[in-house]
Amino acid sequence: MGPGLLGYTIRRLLWAIPVLFVISLLVFYMLRLAPGDPVDAILGQRFQEDQAAVLRKKYGYDQPIHVQYVKYLQNLARGDLGVSIRHQQFTVSEVIIPKIWVSTRLGLIALVISFTLGIFAGIYAALARGTFLDPLTISFWLAIDAVPVFVAAPALMWLFALKLDLVGLGWRGFASPNIILPILVLSLPGTAGIARFVRASVLGVLQEDYVRTARAKGLPERTVVFTHVARNALLPLITVIGLSLPGVAGGALIVEQLFGIPGIGREGFDAVLAPDFDVILALVLFGSLLFVLANIAVDILYAVIDPRIRLGAGRG
């Protein structure tokens, strides 16, 4: 599009810097102000005070918080995310990057399945409106969605691993059939929301004048559905897709926990419990960065595709 869009993009990207700065400040202070510092976590319950003091000095925990924060930012600017308390030989990046990669791949597979199922279910339900198939389709997915992950997981494990003996439990990588259960548990619950979204959107578009016009001029129903309806109805889905991407990289804490997947969600949980400050902080910043970028990308894509949306236009 025109120069307006470029300016908007640059403005939004520049906005992202203070946003991320505020997030890092908030989270840094929250973590540091919480009782119990990482040194307690390293040493456990019994330790000598002088030993603790040495460690505090080594990691800089004896400094005032704002000094620690500035130091953290300086390190961050150099790409140094700090040191993990629990994995002492490794830097934070070395700990989290492989795990992010596992979670992202797993999440993307689940995302593709969810969206494929959801789009088809949604369009199907919308076109079946007026028959019992519409509420049946939606209710079916809503019922699936209502089962908490930590109920579905043991139930599926029991059925497929213990009773039918089709898959094993435990993580064997992406090539093993063991991956089927976590993928199911990750992808199926999301389908309901997408189906419902698509259905509402399709129903809205079905009433647009241009659909009536398309029908009135005698276009075959298939052309109407796929070119006029689906294309416009799936447009708002960009938001949903774009905003679910950061979550994918953030991993799925409970599913990873239950299935023993070495992903980033589980790492985050362990880091919170430890507490492993630098890992938590890195994960929060990473998640936030992805989210902010996804937001910007969604807005820009939207403006490119639908010129009716005026970007950042203030009124009077």
Partner 1 sequence: MRSSTRAFASARDGAEAVSEEAVITPAVPEAHPVSPGRRMVRTLLRKKLAVLALIYLSLFYFFGIFGPLLAPQDPYEQNLSAETRLQGPSAEHWLGTDRLGRDIASRVVYATRTTVVFTVVVLISGSLFLGLGLGLLAGYRGGWVDTLIMRVGEVMGGLPTLLLMLAITAAFRTRINDVSFWLEDHTWLGDDAATVTKFGIIVLATLPFAWIGSTRIVRSQALAIREEAYVLAAEAMGAGTWRVVSRHILPGVMPLFIMGVSAGMAGTAGAEVTLSFLGLGIDPPTASFGSLIADGAGPQTLERYPHLLLAPAIPVALFFFAWNLLGDALVDLLSPRGHLNG
- Is the Cβ of residue 111 or residue 157 nearer to partner 1 in the bound state? 157
Q: Considering the rule CB under 8 A, would residue 81 count as an interface residue with partner 1?
A: no
Quick one: 53 or 159, whose CB is closer to partner 1? 159
For partner 1, which is the closer residue by CB, 182 or 250?
250
Site string for partner 1, 182-211 (x = CB under 8 A): ----------xx--x---x--xx-xx----
Nearer to partner 1, 112 or 143 (CB): 143
- What are the φ/ψ torsions at residue 169 (nearest 5 degrees)? -100, 160
- Please give the DSSP secondary-structure letter assigned to residue 98: H
Q: Which residues contact 19 (CB under 8 A, 6 or more apart)?
A: 288, 292
Query: Smaller CB distance to partner 1: residue 108 or 155?
Result: 155
Binding letters toward partner 1, positions 217-256, x by CB under 8 A: ----------------------x------xx--x--xx--
Q: Which residue is it, tokens 């789009």?
A: 119
Contact between 152 and 185 (Cβ < 8 Å): yes
Cβ distance to partner 1 smaller for residue 54 or 136? 136
Footprint of partner 1 on 92-121 (CB under 8 A) = none
What is the contact mask toward partner 1 in residues 257 to 286, using x (rule: CB under 8 A)?
A: -x------x--xx--xx-x----x--xx--
Question: How many residues form the binding site for partner 1 (CB under 8 A)?
Answer: 71
Measured in degrees and rounded to the nearest 5, phi and psi for residue 247 equal -65, -35
User: Is there binding between residue 315 and partner 1 (CB under 8 A)?
Assistant: yes
CB 92 within 8 A of CB 84: yes
DSSP bridge pairs for 91: 83
83 secondary structure, DSSP code: B
Q: How near is the Cβ of 64 to partner 1 at its closest, in Å? A: 19
- Residue closer to partner 1 by CB (options 43, 54) is 43
- Residue 292 lies near partner 1 (rule: CB under 8 A): yes
Phi, psi of 222 (to 5 degrees): -65, -45
Stretch binding partner 1 (CB under 8 A), from 68-76, 79-87, 115-123, 158-166: 158-166
60 interacts with partner 1 by CB under 8 A: no
Of residues 54 and 304, the one with the C-beta less far from partner 1: 304
Q: Tokens representing 133? A: 């198939």
| Interface residue with partner 1, options 134, 183, 235, 301 (CB under 8 A) | 134
The terminus-to-terminus CA distance of the chain in angstroms comes to 24
Distance between CA 122 and CA 128 in Å, rounded? Answer: 10
Site for partner 1 in 7-36 (CB under 8 A): 15, 19, 22-23, 26-27, 30-31, 34-36
Backbone angles phi, psi at 83, to 5 degrees: -120, 140
Q: Kindly state whether residue 88 participates in binding partner 1, applying the rule CB under 8 A.
A: no
CA distance 281 to 277: 6
Contact status: 3 vs partner 1 (CB under 8 A): no
Spatial distance between the Cα atoms of 224 and 150, rounded to a whole number of angstroms = 42
**Counting contacts by CB under 8 A, is residue 174 touching partner 1?**
no
DSSP β-bridge partners for residue 83: 91
CA distance 174 to 259: 13
Residue whose CB is less far from partner 1, 98 or 247: 247
Contacts of 295 (CB under 8 A, 6+ apart): 242, 243
How large is the angle between the packed helices 65-77 and 3-33, nearest 10 degrees?
140
Nearest approach, Cβ of 169 to partner 1 (angstroms)? 7
